[in-house]
Amino acid sequence: MSSILDTPLLKEAVASCHYFWEAGWGEFHAGNLSYLLSEEELADLKPFFRDDPIRVPVAFDTCGLEGRYFLATRSGGQFRTLPNRVERDMGIIRVVEGAYEIVWGYEDGAGRPTSETPAHLLCHAARLSQNPDNRIVMHCHPTYLNAMSTIADMSEEALTKTLWSLNSECVLVFPDGVGVLPWMKCGEGPIGPATAEKMKTYRVVVWPYHGIFASGSSFDETIGLIETIDKNAHVYVSVGGNIKQCITDEQVHELADHFGLETAF
Ligand SMILES: [Zn+2]
């Protein structure tokens, strides 16, 4: 391959980032993503890495992820325009003790990975402790879920059960439920560790009046998870939260039992 942009992972990552914008989940600078490279992907991408990695010391916990490589969107990048500026708005870092090294991208090393990188690494470590196949952590702003968070009971149990009640597919896609944090200041600070703590239990954590952190073992799985949640949040807000009839709790559990799924609630 003559360009890193022709590798299967970069093609999928770029198309997925653009989809996040098309879906309305990543306006302007909103949204960021990190992806843990597999050994095969690393072998594919390594020929394109810099000979002189740029070492960036960090004060945050690297969570035992030393030696791992992550593809991550750039701080200040935009999902809408990313496909036209991949080498500027994406990059690959290698986590090392007390630092990360930029091995590719970010405008030839002048830029930096997402400012949410500390939260991403914490969340990767949390998800990997539950599922060694987890690859993605991503943050975005799904419109209908944000709308729902202004009118629905947002306890984890109530939100999860409301979504499960709206479509038979929901409990099948996220039997593990949806985690919810109280509103917190975004950026560096307690919200990252709080999100990671929730990710020990949930693949998705809602930040009310802001968006979500979602995770998964592939782009398809993660996008599917967000789509399913946001689709049903759309249904909820379309009726103004006035649900006269829906799938009962008992029926949800019948469905889960039929597919051999354990439910969070
Ligand atoms: Zn955000």
**Domain residue extents for the chain:** 1-114, 116-265
* 116-265 under CATH 3.40.225.10, yes or no: yes
Burial 84-105, CB ≥16 within 10 A → b, else e: eebbbbbbbbbbbeebbbbbbb
CATH number for the segment(s) 1-114: 3.40.225.10
Distance from the alpha carbon of residue 78 to the mean position of ligand 1, in angstroms: 12
- Residue 232 pLDDT: 98
8 A C-beta contact, residue 93 and residue 52: no
Please choose, from the candidates 102, 72, 103, 84, the residue with its C-alpha nearest in 3D space to the C-alpha of residue 5. 84
Distance from the alpha carbon of residue 211 to the mean position of ligand 1, in angstroms: 6
Sign of CA dihedral 12, 13, 19, 25: positive
Catalytic entry in 22, 87, 97, 116: 116
Q: Is 244 helix (H, G, I), strand (E, B) or coil?
A: coil
Sign of CA dihedral 187, 189, 190, 195: positive
Name the helix (H) or strand (E) containing 92.
strand 90-96
Fold matches, 1-114 and 116-265: yes
Q: Which residues of the chain have pLDDT under 50?
A: none
- Pairing type for strands 32-36 and 54-57 reads unpaired
Distance from the alpha carbon of residue 180 to the mean position of ligand 1, in angstroms: 15
- Report phi then psi at 260, rounded to 5: 65, 35
- Residue 189 pLDDT: 86
Residue ranges with CB less than 5 Å from ion ligand 1: 30, 211
Distance from the alpha carbon of residue 126 to the mean position of ligand 1, in angstroms: 20
- Residue 188 pLDDT: 80
Active-site annotation holds for 116: yes
- Residue 185 pLDDT: 92
Distance from the alpha carbon of residue 32 to the mean position of ligand 1, in angstroms: 8
Distance from the alpha carbon of residue 228 to the mean position of ligand 1, in angstroms: 19
